[in-house]
Amino acid sequence: MPLSSLLRTVMRLPRDRDRRSALPHPHGCRLTFAGDRVDRARGRVPAVGGAAVDPAPLSGMRVLDLADRLGLDAALRAALDALVGEGTGFVEHHRLADRRLWRLTGRTEGLTACLALEPATPAEAALHDRLTAAAATVDELQAVARRSELSPVPTFESDATGRILWHNRAAGPLARMAGGLGAIPGLIASGDGTSQLCTSDGTRLGWGRITTVPSDIGGQLIFVEDIDAQIRAEEALDSFTSTLTDTFAHIDTALAVFDRERRLSLFNPALHDLFGLDPVGLAMRPSLREFLEALRQRRMVPEQTDFSAWRQRITAAATTVSEVPYHEDWSLPSGQVLRVTARPHPRGAVAFVFDDISDYVTLERRYRAEIELGHAMLERLDEGVALFDRSGRVLFTNDVFERAMRRESLDDLLSAGLDGLTEAARTASADPETWLAFKAFALAAERQEHWAAVAETGDGRLLLRASAMPDGSTLLGLLDPDPAAAAPTPDLAQPLRRIGCG
């Protein structure tokens, strides 16, 4: 029987006499109904504040308004409607508008529906309070049971002997895989913590996290959380990290990976070799701030007037997610040059790559110096010199060549190219065939190493000497043929070959 029905049954008072003509309780009232309205009211009606009022104004009031006046709940409103409409009697206890406990008795006298309101006795009030508290406790227990049933974590309850007394819905599949509820104690025999769940025959059911809580009956509440996917993910991550570590251990480029908390989570031996950092200190996972401070102490960062501001700038630039990674070359006091690249990850991690490019920078500087030396040598020659790539674009000219071609600047020569130069020279020359022959030599896929010819100009002659360079470019020299016959001119291709233009 539901607790609410039990409460109503217990709270009904035995009728030891006929009350049809009885007067109402001295502190209560008696109402009769005609249809859906109050026909007659006798006694005193409870009101807000505890003072009873004359029931006379209730005469003619609708049942709905009466329920509002008395402060009835939904159950009592339904019972009052059934009394007036169908003649169904009831006995209920309820706290009305004055907050006191009243006994409401609904019955029929002949064809007339009557409602009696009487103050509850102290015994009734005490019993009502106890039953109401019990009902609230039952409701709370039922709510807890519903929530336990909806929990996705398999949950069992055992007695003091370990026998399973109850389990929720999520525990059903686990119990079936284990071979029944009787196999659950053996499945969780390892106790609290993470363990591999195995049946009695050794069948593995996966990884679980077991948590036990003592119950009030001397047994235990047992929670078995399925963490098999988590364990497999952690194993895959460990394997991947181990693979990365083994891979990075064999490269010469220093690598340092900081997690989202900006602590060192991965590094390779090259980091220790490059900066001379203690591997034990690196294994203690220093922060990015501490890492940069350690580099400063070893003079492995560029000299700064304000190191704190520089460190903040580096940290901000390196940890800002961007399509273009952070890139900077560090010139150290020792003369070393480090190329630093940082690529932040969208989830917060950042990877630093440190590459020692000192040899590359030294080679590049030497190469640039030799190029500049070669250009200076060509500028001091009496012969006009020009270098064309395999497509006919002008790469270099000296002043003598520009004057011979009547060009005022290198920009004009660059914009004209081989086609423009040969066209202008052909137009101004008495023998255009010579310039067309040079153009054919410069653009030919297969050609001899040297080519030479004398071109007639409006004010004399020019000796054109061309040499094929190893990279497919063409070196052209212009000079007066008469002085050339008297004094041999050096091979102009040799300086360019030596400095690497070929």
The rounded mean pLDDT for the chain is 80
Closest CA to 442 of 430, 453, 431, 456: 453
For residue 483, name the pLDDT band (cuts at 50, 70, 90). low
Domain assignment present for 72: yes
Q: Are 30 and 115 in contact (CB under 8 A)?
A: yes
Residues 486, 383 share a domain: yes
Domain assignment present for 242: no
Domain assignment present for 156: yes
Residue 156 has pLDDT above 80, yes or no: yes
Residues 274, 199 share a domain: no
Domain assignment present for 132: no
Q: Are 275 and 300 in contact (CB under 8 A)?
A: yes
Domain assignment present for 112: yes
Residues 105, 21 share a domain: yes
Q: Which pLDDT value is given to residue 188?
A: 78
* Two tokens, residue 412: 């004009």
The highest-confidence range among 63-72, 127-136, 184-193, 330-339, by mean pLDDT, is 330-339
Residue 499 has pLDDT above 50, yes or no: no
Q: DSSP letters of 346-379?
A: TTS-EEEEEEE-HHHHHHHHHHHHHHHHHHHHHH
Residue 50 has pLDDT above 70, yes or no: no
48-62, 68-82, 299-313: segment of lowest average pLDDT:
48-62
* Two tokens, residue 202: 């050794």
Q: What letter does residue 336 receive in the DSSP assignment?
A: -
Residue 313 has pLDDT above 60, yes or no: yes
Distances (CA, A) of 470 to 399, 473, 493: 25, 7, 10
The rounded distance, in Å, linking the Cα atoms of 57 and 40 is 10
Residues β-bridged to residue 166? 157
The rounded distance, in Å, linking the Cα atoms of 52 and 41 is 13
pLDDT tens digits along 195-246:
888 887 778 888 888 888 888 878 888 888 888 888 888 888 888 878 877 7
Higher pLDDT, 399 or 410: 399
133-142, 340-349, 406-415, 487-496: segment of lowest average pLDDT:
487-496
Domain assignment present for 468: yes
Residues 100, 17 share a domain: yes
Boundary (domain end) residue, out of 356, 391, 407:
356
For residue 494, name the pLDDT band (cuts at 50, 70, 90). very low
Q: What percentage of the chain carries pLDDT values higher than 70? A: 84
Report, as an integer, the average pLDDT of 480-488: 55
Boundary (domain end) residue, out of 356, 386, 409:
356
pLDDT tens digits along 279-288:
888 889 999 9
Domain span at residue 51?
Answer: 3-127
Q: Which pLDDT value is given to residue 264?
A: 92
Residues 458, 369 share a domain: yes
The highest-confidence range among 142-156, 314-328, 332-346, 482-496, by mean pLDDT, is 332-346
Cβ neighbours around 209 below 10 Å, total? 16
Q: Which pLDDT value is given to residue 96?
A: 76
Residue 176 has pLDDT above 50, yes or no: yes
12-16, 75-79, 443-447, 459-463: segment of lowest average pLDDT:
12-16
The highest-confidence range among 182-186, 264-268, 346-350, 493-497, by mean pLDDT, is 264-268
* Two tokens, residue 337: 């040059």
Read off the CATH number of the domain in which 492 is found: 3.30.450.20
Residues 381, 351 share a domain: no
Residue 177 CB partners (closer than 8 Å, separation 6+): 199, 205
Total domains, the chain: 4
Residues 495, 404 share a domain: yes
For residue 180, name the pLDDT band (cuts at 50, 70, 90). confident
Q: Which pLDDT value is given to residue 338?
A: 93
Cβ neighbours around 368 below 10 Å, total? 11
The rounded distance, in Å, linking the Cα atoms of 174 and 165 is 15
Residues 383, 426 share a domain: yes
Residues 435, 331 share a domain: no
Residue 354 has pLDDT above 90, yes or no: yes
Residues 402, 324 share a domain: no
Residue 337 has pLDDT above 90, yes or no: yes
Q: Which pLDDT value is given to residue 467?
A: 93
Domain assignment present for 241: no
Higher pLDDT, 34 or 5: 34
The rounded distance, in Å, linking the Cα atoms of 440 and 433 is 10
The greatest distance separating any two alpha carbons of the chain, rounded to the nearest whole angstrom, comes to 158
Residue 501 has pLDDT above 50, yes or no: no
The rounded distance, in Å, linking the Cα atoms of 358 and 342 is 19
Coil, helix or strand for 3?
helix
Residues 114, 156 share a domain: no
For residue 315, name the pLDDT band (cuts at 50, 70, 90). confident
Orientation angle between helical segments 410-428 and 432-443, nearest 10 degrees: 130
Residues 376, 295 share a domain: no
Boundary (domain end) residue, out of 199, 230, 261:
230
* Global confidence as pTM: 0.45
Q: Which pLDDT value is given to residue 292?
A: 92
The rounded distance, in Å, linking the Cα atoms of 363 and 344 is 31
Coil, helix or strand for 217?
coil
